[in-house]
Amino acid sequence: MTDWNPGLYLKFDDQRTRPARDLLARVPHPGPRSVVDLGCGPGNSTELLHERWPAARIVGIDNSPGMLEQARRAHPDWLWEEHDVSAWRPAERYDVVYSNAALQWVGDHAGLFPRLLDGVAPGGFLAVQIPRNLDAPSHALMRDTAEEGAWREKLRGARETIAVAEPAFYYDLLAPKAARIDLWETEYAQIMDSADAVLEWVRGTGLRPFVARLDEAERAEFERRYLEKLRAAYATRADGRVLFPFRRLFIVAQA
């Protein structure tokens, strides 16, 4: 898969950062000494952590060289490390292990989440936000488009790595190891300029595994067909805009 595009990702910086703020607001740690941001991307969520805990040693971790390059340009004095979260094994326990909209790209949540909680110092917190909207039109129509074209075989299994379960699944995983758990879902009614903006949004995230397997002509045709479906699925409101509902799952577990 091609590397992430930080400019495209940050095109909707406000909407992407809002859940990160909502997650952070529910982490009650008064003053952690060490914090790690897993899947830090271009550093927009890491900035929030520094604002909240300026005295903490905060490390941003991502597997995208492009995202980390953007983060380092913005904050060259901060700590940024390239790691794959699926293989990450911390050399120390952190007071806060934080991850905003990243773990949906990592498989084996049954093994991952308990391991991440093991990386939290006693009394500290694991704080995670993951999108849970694979049944939304934006994502269902990707799969429909993938199934109907000549590219069908090329795109088979393009989204197999994404596996986000029901909230109860994560509760049952973490409850035996956690002192307490805060668990909730929010569906954001995101206001977009048009259905075309929905396409721009997913170009920076969920559409990547599909178009990465296509050549330039196939990619253009795929997006044309997909956009037609988006325009039919997301009704234009009286002011010309569309509502783009987006469900997210939040987990805060204390070690």
Question: Concatenated DSSP letters for the chain?
Answer: -PPP-HHHHGGGHHHHHHHHHHHHTT---S--SEEEEET-TTTHHHHHHHHH-TTSEEEEEES-HHHHHHHHHH-TTSEEEE--GGG---SS-EEEEEEES-GGGSS-HHHHHHHHHHTEEEEEEEEEEEE--TTSHHHHHHHHHHHHSTTTTTTTTTTTT-----HHHHHHHHTTT-SEEEEEEEEEEEEES-HHHHHHHHHTTTTHHHHTTS-HHHHHHHHHHHHHHHHHHS---TTS-EEEEEEEEEEEEE-
For the domain bounded by 6-254, which CATH number is listed?
3.40.50.150
Decide if pLDDT at 15 tops 90.
Answer: no
pLDDT digits (tens, 9 = 90+) for 90-140: 889 999 999 999 999 898 999 999 999 999 999 999 999 999 998 899 999
Provide the whole-model pTM. Answer: 0.89
The per-residue pLDDT for 12 is: 55
What is the spatial distance between Cα 181 and Cα 28, in angstroms, rounded to a whole number? 12
Residues 208-243 pLDDT 10s: 889 889 999 999 999 999 999 999 999 999 999 999
Query: Domain-by-domain residue ranges, the chain?
Result: 6-254
Average pLDDT over residues 60-76: 93
- pLDDT given for residue 1 in this prediction: 46
